[in-house]
Amino acid sequence: MDIAAILRDIHETVSQSPDRGTVADYIPELARIDTGRFGMSVVLADGTQHSVGDAARPFSIQSISKIFALALALGRLGDRLWTRVGREPSGLAFNSILQLEHEAGIPRNPLINAGAIVVTDAVLAGNAPREYLGELLRFIRAAAEDDAIHINESIALSESETGHRNFALAHFLRAHGNLQNAPHMALGAYFHQCAIEMSCEQLARSGRFLMGAQGHPRLVSPGRVRRINALMMTCGHYDGSGDFAYRVGLPGKSGVGGGILVIAPGRASIAVWSPGLNAQGNSKLGTEAVEMLARRTGWSVFG
């Protein structure tokens, strides 16, 4: 299979697309990103990597960081994490507060904002955000085998100044006794983890530990890899998760920076970036690109 040729075709197709979606403008620093950008990178099980477009250009991984935080939290707490957060798709927007009141401060899953704030809070456990962020960066750098991966401070600051919905969620969690740290501490850590930057090349390499193939970094057990992939499949695209599963058929996690990490178990780790988003806050052309890749390669977890 000629992945390089498939990526070139995908790049050509998306570059002709008249509708590139709209950037997330609720984080001012993200509103300035050019929607003309597009990058994609695929690491195959044999270790070869193929990339196209702006695949070397760093972008804000935003909610994709929730996967790495979840891996750390499961390592630290194991199944005790599930007393504080559920494992069901929410069917609501990533930053919705609606269910949280009905369900007494237990977020539906670890990949919506409320759930991710609980996950970060659980790993933080009274330590300084700096220590948590150091641990998270060490995990990601080990996963990607790249020590250059870093946090963009101006994006973290931009979100700290405007992230009122996340403050509302954190205070609400705290009111229900489901936040151990002060809201500004948990959110300081959360905003900084969202502001980690990676290129598609780095992101695809960082996802290899979820591929379950020999010869790649093994940072979590095979059983846990399956669980994380299951959560990505059911919850990784919020209220667009069913549509993503239907169209792509692979577990994926999106971020409002326009990136998506997609895992083809046993076969590939895939990263795509196009900053324009669809109505659910997931990369519009990024989704179309992985849909084309899945169709051309036949990769699917559904047979």
C-alpha to C-alpha distance for 186 and 92, rounded to whole angstroms: 23
SS3 for the chain is: CCHHHHHHHHHHHHHCCCCCCECCCCCHHHHCCCCCCCEEEEEECCCCEEEEECCCCCEECHHHHHHHHHHHHHHHHHHHHHHCCCCCCCCCCCCCCHHHHHCCCCCCCCCCHHHHHHHHHHHHCCCCHHHHHHHHHHHHHHHHCCCCCEECHHHHHHHHHHCHHHHHHHHHHHHCCCCCCCHHHHHHHHHHHHCEEECHHHHHHHCHHHCCCCCCCCCCCHHHHHHHHHHHHHHCCHHHHHHHHHHCCCCEEECCCCEEEEEECCCEEEEEECCCECCCCCEHHHHHHHHHHHHHHCCCCCC
Residue 54: CB minimum distance to ligand GLN, A = 19
Phi, psi dihedral angles at 185 (to 5 degrees): -75, -50
For ligand GLN, the closer CB: 50 or 113: 113
For ligand GLN, the closer CB: 94 or 209: 94
Residue 24: CB minimum distance to ligand GLN, A = 7
Residue 150: CB minimum distance to ligand GLN, A = 17
Residues marked as catalytic? 63, 66, 190, 238, 256
Residue 95: CB minimum distance to ligand GLN, A = 5
Residue 169: CB minimum distance to ligand GLN, A = 9
For ligand GLN, the closer CB: 54 or 159: 159
Provide the binding-site residues for ligand GLN, judged by CB under 6 A: 62-63, 94-95, 113, 159, 166, 194, 255-256, 281
What are the residues facing 270 on neighbouring strands?
42, 262
For ligand GLN, the closer CB: 50 or 237: 237
Residue 183: CB minimum distance to ligand GLN, A = 13
Phi, psi dihedral angles at 263 (to 5 degrees): -115, 125
For ligand GLN, the closer CB: 115 or 265: 115
For ligand GLN, the closer CB: 6 or 232: 232
Cα-Cα end-to-end distance for the chain: 18
